Amino acid sequence: MTPACAEDFRLLAERRLPRFLFDYIDGGSYAEVTMRRNVADLERLQLRQRVLRDVSGVRLDTELLGRRVSMPLALAPIGLAGLYARRGEVQAARAAEAAGVPFILSASACCAIEEVAPAVREPLIFQLYMIKDRGFMEAMLDRARAAGVETLVMTVDLIMHSPRYRDMRSSLTGDQGFAARLKRAFEILRHPRWAWDVGVRGGPHVLGNFASAMPEGAGLAQFTAWVSRNFDPSISWDDLAWIKARWNGRLVLKGILDPDDARRAVEVGADAIVVSNHGGRQLDGAPSTIAALPAVVDAVDGRIEVLLDGGIRSGIDILRALALGAHGVLIGRAWAFALGARGGAGVSRMLEMLRQELLVAMALTGHSDIASVGPDALMRRDPDARRDSAEGRQ
């Protein structure tokens, strides 16, 4: 199949990846209500078609996270991407750079920051969690600086893992006895192309950024145990002062949904925030990110950049997010599936598709410059109709 949209890459990835990896990307927490809302609430936003407005020279380039980008988009931090394709984080970083958009390397990447940073010319953006082992945190910040990182993304909504039923059923998490290992081995044998490309040729199969903290091994089982010991549910806004004292680069907070938290982020000196519910992988029952966005934008009142993460599957979705006040978006599952389906070439193709979809959506809503996109790109909706619709989904 020749992929024509993000969903096509999802279907291709489902064929190529072992089930436990596909479900890890595709699934969310608990009943996956919030994950589905992220997509459905974007789809409900109707665009306002305009005509005869001279859109012969549409411009998509803008400023995002301190750099000039070809379109208002960045690749979100995705864990374990090195298991979706051989040395997957390196392939994705190169594809993002070729497309002129930022790549955010996850702390939970298979490829360590020292491997990915030299593979590209632009400085990496690096994502990190607040963990109990502050010595490791300081060492990780030093490694990021040494690798040329200028922007740090702190994920603040992962103080503990929410149960993900699909991962339990696929034996990625939960019981790790003989039956679970046998089930994963059977899935690997069912996918020989992945087994050869990633399983045989794609090693080492460790979480490179955490290897120094896990001398007994940095595989998935060791990482899961280490996370349960070190993710810190006691963190508060005061802990960000600790980060600010040790990081003189740009600081982005990812995982903001509430306007009060957005205002506090401004007060503590964040340079940008990402409206995110972790792709529906943490608090199931939380609002979609597009539903939370307008109140957060109002709370920030233009003082810092606001990006949206969650549910973006097309260039049309990007336009919807911009219309409600986002400066740009992060895409996660979209690039993970493209990588799993076709490697770095798949990520490149997916980014070009998003660019073309955004360009067409801009033109058909009468906008020739990305900076001009605002609420007028959407159809006005009656507030009572919005409330009735929300009540009907309860």
Residues that are catalytic: 278
CA 97 – CA 81 distance, rounded (Å): 17
C-alpha 143/C-alpha 163 separation (Å) is: 31
Is residue 364 classed exposed, middle or buried when 0-12, 13-18 and 19+ CB atoms within 10 A define those classes? middle
Return the DSSP state at 247: -
Tokens of 147: 């690798």
As a whole number of Å, the CA-based R_g of the chain is 20
d(CA 271, CA 102): 16
CA angle 57–62–68, rounded 5-degree value: 120
β-bridge partners, 204: none
Give 137-170 as a DSSP string: HHHHHHHHHHTT--EEEEE-S-SSPPP-HHHHHT
The CA distance from 84 to 136, in Å, is: 27
Please classify residue 87 by burial: count the beta carbons closer than 10 Å to its beta carbon, then call 0-12 exposed, 13-18 middle and 19+ buried: buried
Q: Beta partners for 378? A: 47
